[in-house]
Structure 1
Amino acid sequence: MPHVRIGLAGALLLTVAACGSKSIDREAPRPRPSDWRQIVTAPDRDRLARWRAAWIAGLDKATAAGNAAQVAAQGALLKPDAALDGPLPPQGDYSCRVIKMGAQTKGLMDYVAYPYFNCRISMLDGRLHLAKLNGSQRPVGDIFPDEGRRMIFLGAMMLGDETRPLPYGRDGERDMVGIVERVASQRWRIAFPYPRWESTIDIFELIPKG
């Protein structure tokens, strides 16, 4: 009965096609979350919740160590409540530097202002992306919308001659979480409370070039 054999062959082809379709569906990439709350790790969520305590402790240690004049000279940059409207930094090249306050261990300085380096903010895979381009410690990660006068940075620290950053959440020692704010017409900052190394709080300054 040839018509029966054809029917079975057709059914078999349909089954294979259906299985192939399901396989393709399973392998399709999922869209990346746009809400930082769906990505942030529990330890970093805790650091964000305690950002003010870190800031005040860092300022107190810096001034107690004789750096009051240096702190005051930075103006709004080091003031915890100086954020302005419009926290979204534009895409482009920046001069960036780090100010560390409040040593975690004895023997380290309670106030260190590093020289300016090169940074870039661009759009990468649908997210606003920040990369410090040179220096021995290079934050790389994404900037997410948040409520009010701030945005949230989630990223990882690149070290030395590394050429590729670790994905956020892969290594807790490298993960970075920060609060992005605008503090002047052309001046942004990212506050990193309780970073993994050296200080109580790091303030990452960003000034657009040109």
Structure 2
Amino acid sequence: HLEDLFPSSHLAAIYLGHKTKNKNIKVLVFGEEGLFEELRQARIKLTSTSKDANYVVVGMDRKFNFEKLKLAYEAILNGAKFVATNKDVTYPTEEGTVPAAGAIVKALEVSTHKRALLLGKPHLFGLKTVMKSKGYTSADTILVGDGLETDILVGKRLKIVTVLVLSGITLEKMLQKAPPSLKPDYVIQSLLDLPSLKIGHG
């Protein structure tokens, strides 16, 4: 069901919807069509200039270039609040990994000396928003993901049962080297193994 999906672009729309409600606040966005569409549907005012931007929102943008970097840089230095949909530095494709939103965010953090507010994992805002909307508590939630420093970390922070899938970005050797704070409760090779996994809360 589409209403059960909470991509980081949707979380950005929820967050900015609260911040900009009944206010003349404009948002400068760097991302792809999905992010723009989510913000437009939430009736958030968008801008294409750095001078009148109150927020700078950065997501995955495969057409990011120096001009966009400069525009975001100027807006942040002018006082715009810096928001990141996620900080994944790479993204898996059929040809291998490619730079992702986190690489863009990092470039802006380094150049502006400003730290981005992260809406997605491992920040608590995203998962708390999902759980609240569904009426879930930590006791009846299971988090399944492929990232130690995103999925597993946010699950640990909220004391949720965590399941790591090894078919994504985390390799077995990375798991073995992980500190206790990033160790999942369960490990499976692929999502196909999930139905047969016997999970005990607590």
Instruction: Report which of the two has the higher share of strand.
Output: 1
Larger Rg belongs to = 1
Query: Is the structural similarity TM-score above 0.5?
Result: no
Structure with greater proportional helix content: 2
Which of the pair has the greater relative contact order for Cα pairs under 8 Å at 6+ separation? 1
TM-score by length of 1: 0.22
TM-score when normalising by structure 2: 0.22
